[in-house]
Structure 1
């Protein structure tokens, strides 16, 4: 029962992120040739990179492999010789830190910039 509730909650949150992402993308597409908007996106990427750089070395390594290289938690765990749960904790800690620094819309920002949470 808890498992089903957890899945339902997760799906609801993902649906909310998807809706916000679609709205964000629609707004972006209206002005996709706007130099100011392109500059704002580069500034957002810079802010994200600054926050990622402030993570601990191990957390940053795991998160960069997950975010930039598209590796799964299992692949990262195998490569780094750590448990999958440790990888998941590093990813969660990184996202929590980013949300704390960039605000609650960080998830939407990540979906837009990198295509994954």
Structure 2
């Protein structure tokens, strides 16, 4: 696990809401796009929302010995499969066959079974995040990097930069808004990359 992921988990376990907001801002868009591949647009938001709720509620039980990205992908994958299984399919042979086919197709997107999915999300999220962070204003970028990559608290950042804690929070919130706004085209990249790598 990368150092910044380990720090983020420790902050989550302490109940830091800002840590949860950072996690949400970074992973929400790509995880929704991933869920859409399994359950479609209609249920994807609900799947990811359920995962984030479970993370916050069970934050004290989070483990710090693996990949955070991998954990989130597996959580979304399993939750999405539960959604498929909970649908009210008729008992006809045709409907049962449809469910079996859907579940077999979903295995392709299982991060435990498909290294392409694991590597794609790890690489793409990192590249996309770096690109968006570079578009932030210098001060906003500096605060975000200190918070997200160095794991400093808002108080520590305010003391280092000689600005108020509220200003630090404003910079972080502004950065997260821009991240959410600019990470929305990941789905097309994902589909194209899976197609190319799968040839």
Selected match of 1:84 from 156, 161, 165:
165
CA distance, structure 1, for counterparts of residue 115 and residue 139 of structure 2: 36
Inter-CA distance 18–69: structure 2 relative to 1 (3 Å threshold)? farther
Does residue 1:75 correspond to 2:75, yes or no? no
TM-score normalized with structure 1 length: 0.64
Query: What secondary structure does 1:70 align onto?
Result: coil
CA distance, structure 1, for counterparts of residue 72 and residue 125 of structure 2: 18
Q: Is this contact kept in 1: 2:74–2:111, CA < 8 A?
A: no
Counting only pairs closer than 5 Å after superposition, residues 76-115 of structure 1 correspond to structure 2 as 76-103=157-184
Does residue 1:42 correspond to 2:91, yes or no? no
Query: What secondary structure does 2:128 align onto?
Result: helix
Give 2:74's aligned residue.
Answer: 25
Q: Which 4+ residue blocks in structure 1 deviate beyond 2 angstroms? A: 13-28, 30-35
Gaps of 5+ in 2: 1-16, 25-48, 56-68, 79-109, 185-199
Structure 1 residue 23: Cα displacement:
6.1
- Aligned pair count reads 91
Gaps of 5+ in 1: 1-9, 104-117
Structure 1 residue 24: Cα displacement:
3.2
Give 2:40's aligned residue.
Answer: none
Inter-CA distance 58–33: structure 2 relative to 1 (3 Å threshold)? farther
Inter-CA distance 80–95: structure 2 relative to 1 (3 Å threshold)? same
Structure 1 residue 102: Cα displacement:
1.2
TM-score normalized with structure 2 length: 0.40
